Chain A
Amino acid sequence: MVDTTVDLCGITLDNPVIPASGTFGYGYEFAQLYDINILGTFSFKGTTKEPRFGNPTPRIAECTAGMINSVGLQNPGVEKVIAEELPRLKSCFSKKVMANVGGFSVDEYVYTAQRLDECDCVGWLEINISCPNVHGGGMSFGTSPSAAAQVTEAVKKRVRKPVIIKLSPNVTDIAAIAEACEAAGADGISLINTLLGMRIDLRTRKPVIANRKGGFSGEAIFPIALRMVNDAASRVKIPVIGIGGVASAENVIEMMLAGATAVEVGAANLVDPFACRDIINALPTVMQKYRIQSLKEIIGECVNG
């Protein structure tokens, strides 16, 4: 028997597989297809203080081995999430869930994080300072070490649950941002959010995405994500969640060797709703193939220094 469990900020996960925020809703669509309690956990749809419709459509563009989205943090707002979505979520998922928090100011991040911190089904707060699809907030906090530290510190002061800061790859030195978050008290970091990208329709000669550009994700970004996870894990001691183009059990193991304690699966869920189930089912066999007894033991084997 192989051991797939990992410890994420003091909570044991049965396996390191976590559907990423924005690709799994609140879980119900997937719970109709399989028992989602097999997941390590999942990160639910990014939540902001106020309800948001998000960006105009079209919001989706296809790319080679990936896609661009420009949803723009559509969500019903934190009060409705707590009153309506979380009770339904609890009816199909009995483990601790990861609450993903978006915002446009430090105060908003703090408010939303505090409200979700009070929910007993929430195990971790994942603070998204890296959404490329909103203006005046979101990614602007994730592209400067001092702004990232400011959000981290303000949230940490007001919540009890582990705080994981989700980082943007649209920066020169992602490890510097990771270090700033760690110094400000973050319990973990997750990376990468999507890469800014664009497509143009040759027939209309206009951008495919109504908002012109959006976040690029999917298998194409896996090597970039892996490199950034490795950069960040080499410079911080707190757990790193590896995200970006993960679509197989082999990818999960590669991410963990690069330094990830757990792994989020994003775009793969949208094209194959069984992606996470299949990865989890394949993990033991793939571990045996590569003579891995325990996933915990391989975390960061390829971290430099």
Chain B
Amino acid sequence: MKNGIFTITENKPLTHNIMLMRLRGDASACTRPGQFINIKIEGLFLRRPISVCDIKGDEITIIYKIVGAGTNRMSNMKVGDELDVLSGLGNGYDTSLSGDRPLLVGAGVGVPPLYLLAKKLTAEGKKVSAVLGFHDKSDVFFEKEFAEFCDLTVATSNGSHGKKGRVTDYMDTDYTYVYVCGPAAMLRSVYDKSKTSGQFSFEERMGCGFGACMGCSCKTKYGYKRICKDGPVLCKEEIIW
């Protein structure tokens, strides 16, 4: 974990409610895909934890959905604005367990952290496939970017873009491991459907984001864990629903 000032180099809409922000600063604490940063926002008490989508040198890319007061303020920030950021938080995905044909499954704002993971797995010489789910064609983002690294299937609930249905409808393929990020209900259905071991990234309301307050604890088969520090990525074998 590092604390530093980052400068916004880009902040643009990807869809009607999804934004992409690039931040320049000391990104050296971010060592694994699936980690997150915690952003201080003027006028709000708690920092806002957002997963890291990409890292290039000293530039971090995050993708966030405009949901409440914090992300609303973020969406109005300008290039050149400075942010107080805690970076390199959480354990992130372990790519050493993937086998040679990992499958990435993401939905909604669970999609962004899988991008850096896809890049890393590809760089390690693995044949990566991905199933990404969205509600509607107006919600789809990063399709082209993922297609560069993965054998990609995009599904929308209403069939308005790509395949029709849920991500679990398109998991009957041959894969060696799963990496998953998305809403709790989606994590659960992917967990039930998946035929291999895997890693699942969880979300919880956090106090500090670095393991001090015990605000985001969960029970696992290997004891109590903090989503922010021991997670957000948990192994399939340790998850208790």
Q: Do A and B come from one complex?
A: yes
Interface size class, chain A: 35 or more
- What separation, in Å, do the CA atoms of A82 and B46 have in the docked complex? 32
Check A269–B204 contact: CB distance below 8 A.
Answer: no
Query: Is B32 in the interface zone, CB < 8 Å from A?
Result: no
- What separation, in Å, do the CA atoms of A66 and B43 have in the docked complex? 11
Query: Is A38 in the interface zone, CB < 8 Å from B?
Result: no
Chain B, Cβ-Cβ closest to A74: B214
Check B45–A57 contact: CB distance below 8 A.
Answer: no
Shortest distance from the beta carbon of A63 to any chain B beta carbon, whole Å: 7
Check B214–A270 contact: CB distance below 8 A.
Answer: no
Residues of chain B in range 194-222 having any CB-CB distance to chain A below 8 Å:
204-208, 210-219
Shortest distance from the beta carbon of A65 to any chain B beta carbon, whole Å: 6
Query: Is B65 in the interface zone, CB < 8 Å from A?
Result: no
Shortest distance from the beta carbon of A98 to any chain B beta carbon, whole Å: 16
- What separation, in Å, do the CA atoms of A53 and B214 have in the docked complex? 10
- What separation, in Å, do the CA atoms of A3 and B210 have in the docked complex? 33
Residues of chain B in range 220-241 having any CB-CB distance to chain A below 8 Å:
224, 229
Shortest distance from the beta carbon of B31 to any chain A beta carbon, whole Å: 14
Contacts of B5 in A (CB 8 A): none
The 8 Å CB contact of B216, one of A53, A57, A61, is A57
User: A54-B217, A60-B46, A63-B45 are known contacts. Are A24 and B212 too (CB-CB below 8 A)?
Assistant: yes
The stretch of A29-37, A142-150, A224-232, A279-287 that contacts the partner chain:
A29-37
Query: Is B185 in the interface zone, CB < 8 Å from A?
Result: no
Check B45–A59 contact: CB distance below 8 A.
Answer: no
Check B217–A53 contact: CB distance below 8 A.
Answer: yes
Contacts of B24 in A (CB 8 A): none
The 8 Å CB contact of A57, one of B46, B210, B218, is B218
The 8 Å CB contact of A64, one of B45, B86, B214, is B45
Check B3–A271 contact: CB distance below 8 A.
Answer: no
Query: Is A168 in the interface zone, CB < 8 Å from B?
Result: no
Check A65–B45 contact: CB distance below 8 A.
Answer: yes
The 8 Å CB contact of A273, one of B3, B44, B204, B216, is B3
- What separation, in Å, do the CA atoms of A140 and B214 have in the docked complex? 23
Check B212–A29 contact: CB distance below 8 A.
Answer: yes
Check A22–B213 contact: CB distance below 8 A.
Answer: yes
Shortest distance from the beta carbon of A53 to any chain B beta carbon, whole Å: 6
Chain B, Cβ-Cβ closest to A268: B45
Contacts of A273 in B (CB 8 A): 1, 3, 86, 208, 210, 212
Chain B, Cβ-Cβ closest to A63: B45
Nearest first, the 4 closest Cβ-Cβ pairs linking A and B are: A270-B208, A60-B215, A58-B205, A74-B214
Q: A57-B217, A74-B214, A270-B208 are in contact. List 9 more A-B contacts (CB 8 A).
A: A24-B212, A25-B214, A29-B212, A30-B212, A57-B216, A60-B215, A270-B207, A271-B45, A271-B47
Residues on B close to A: CB < 8 A? 1, 3, 40, 44-47, 86, 204-208, 210-219, 224, 229
Residues on A close to B: CB < 8 A? 22-25, 29-30, 32-33, 45, 53-54, 57-67, 69, 71, 74, 208, 218-219, 267, 269-274
Jot down 23 A-B pairs with beta carbons below 8 A, ordered by A. Answer: A25-B212, A29-B210, A29-B211, A29-B229, A54-B217, A57-B217, A59-B205, A59-B214, A60-B206, A60-B213, A61-B205, A62-B44, A62-B45, A62-B46, A64-B45, A66-B45, A67-B45, A74-B217, A267-B45, A271-B40, A271-B45, A273-B3, A273-B208
